[in-house]
Amino acid sequence: MSQTKAERIYRDFIRFHTHVTHPEISERRQQINTHEVVRKLDAIGMHHLPLPIIWDGVHLIDDGKVASKTEIARRTRLTYRMRMWPIVRWLDDYLDWSVRDADIYYQLANLLRDVHFDRIKGRTDIDRAIANVAVIATAKRSLAVGIPAEKITEQINWALEEVGGLEADEVELLECLPDERMLKPTEKIDAEQMAKDRGVTSIQLVETLDTRGRIASLFTDCFGGMRKETTQKEIHPLSVRRLNVASRLLAEPSLEALLRISRVANEYVAFQPRFEKKMIPAVDGDQTSMRMMQSFDELPKMAPAAWAIKVASSKYFRYRLATKSFMVREKIKRSDKKQLFYAMLDRSKSMQQGERIYKLLAILMNRLRAVGRREAVLGYSFFDSMVHDEVMVTEVADVREEIRKLTYEFFIGDDTDINLAIREGIKRIRKLVTDIDAERPELIIVTDGDHGINVQVKELKGIVLHVFIVEEVNDDLIHLASATGGVALQEL
């Protein structure tokens, strides 16, 4: 991400900041401890921001009103005159040097009116205030480097909308993704495919990417650099972590494809983990339940009250016994078997085209979230003309490390053999079901291959097959997945 520098004529605009909100009507100015906000800002590398920006971030939490043009001019004049020597202040009475930046401050105020601050989600008002500060500082520097106000608003609102609904586990996984330059070198970016995905022309896309990249570099500058892993647990608010992801989304267009495909996968009920905590009969069970009698062998298990009926009315007792309408006690224990997903991921050379790598990662991350929520066990292997080593992810701690291992150089395999991948996936699933405590296996194929398929439905024998074909069409594979009741999507 290239750094964007402001011109020298804007140095005062960057350094100083008059209020562009009306703090007098803000209910939060007494409720939020400004020192607590400052302390958290220092912890994430935003200590270089002026205090008035922090106040504006606080006031905008409860829909603080933006000041008028006259009020902004008055505050700008007051701010600059406080820093002038007496002789300069006397000259300013005639030359109005102190209001030279009033117009750009007014542009900032108008820009902030159109920013959707309500999309910034946070656990506390302090978290939201910190995120507001980052947005305001980014907007201010974007104006200073000459980006049109409407473009700034458009891109910031887009980024806030994209990340506003991200769950904590999604943010954590996205933070672990390698930089785009590791997954897709600049010379390999396919602007035409990106334009096709977004429904815009290539020229519009390139112009937009340039603007987005400059705004993204300013976003990153606000945080003093991207969030990095440390040996100690970090205390970054989730709202700020979402903004870090937002800056990456602006700078790395392929992340859009990743989020879009991941959300598309979430919409299909057939692709959701079917995790059930159920109770099963067990001689060594630690709990007891009651159920209706199923056979006469269960007479010793009948509740004591049933024998009391025999004393009161033996005829009625025999009737209840003949109809098996007595309740019996049964030892049970909890069964926490998780669902087994196994993914076969295409790593052939053709996956280097377009945004195919990111789309593949979208499906992988979608299933890793199920592991993170302790709803499933995931195994996966990459394939090309052969199937490579198996990776098993059963613990939450394993998830992030597996994502970090993936780089662009890994996707340089041979031609694609989808039939081999499906059959090997079936074989590995059969073995895993007997080795680990998992059930209801489902096989996932992610590929860009359009080769013919000779695998028969009967070979799957109850295994549900999900198919995701990126940027290509393969009707045979789609029909096979549909026949098993799985999700079948192509031209992703």
CATH number, domain containing residue 407: 3.40.50.410
User: How far apart are the C-alpha atoms of 362 and 183, rounded to whole Å?
Assistant: 13
**Is residue 259 a part of any domain in this protein?**
no
pLDDT band at 451 (very low <50, low <70, confident <90, very high): confident
Same domain, 227 and 286: no
Give residue-wise pLDDT tens across range 477-489.
999 999 999 999 9
Same domain, 226 and 350: no
User: How far apart are the C-alpha atoms of 418 and 82, rounded to whole Å?
Assistant: 72
Same domain, 315 and 300: yes
CB 193 within 8 A of CB 355: yes
**Is residue 260 a part of any domain in this protein?**
no
Q: ∠ CA 281-282-288 to the nearest 5 degrees?
A: 70
CB 219 within 8 A of CB 249: no
Same domain, 155 and 198: yes
Output the pLDDT for position 370: 84
Count of structural domains within the chain:
3
Q: What's the order of all strands across the beta sheet hosting 278-281? A: 278-281, 327-335, 287-292
DSSP bridge pairs for 38: none
Same domain, 217 and 284: no
Same domain, 123 and 74: yes
Structural domain of 446:
265-275+337-489
Selected residue with higher pLDDT from 70 and 413: 70
User: How far apart are the C-alpha atoms of 387 and 343, rounded to whole Å?
Assistant: 11
Same domain, 107 and 31: yes
Same domain, 225 and 307: no
Mean pLDDT of 343-362: 89
| pLDDT at residue 399 tops 80 | no
By the 10 Å C-beta count (0-12 exposed, 13-18 middle, 19+ buried), 140 is classed as: buried
Same domain, 172 and 312: no
Q: Of the candidates 295, 320, 335, which is a domain's last residue? A: 335
Least confident of 6-10, 157-161, 315-319, 340-344: 6-10
User: What is the value of pTM for the model shown?
Assistant: 0.81
Identify the CA nearest to 280 among candidates 337, 339, 325.
337
The pair of structure tokens assigned to 93 is 């009475």
Same domain, 107 and 1: yes
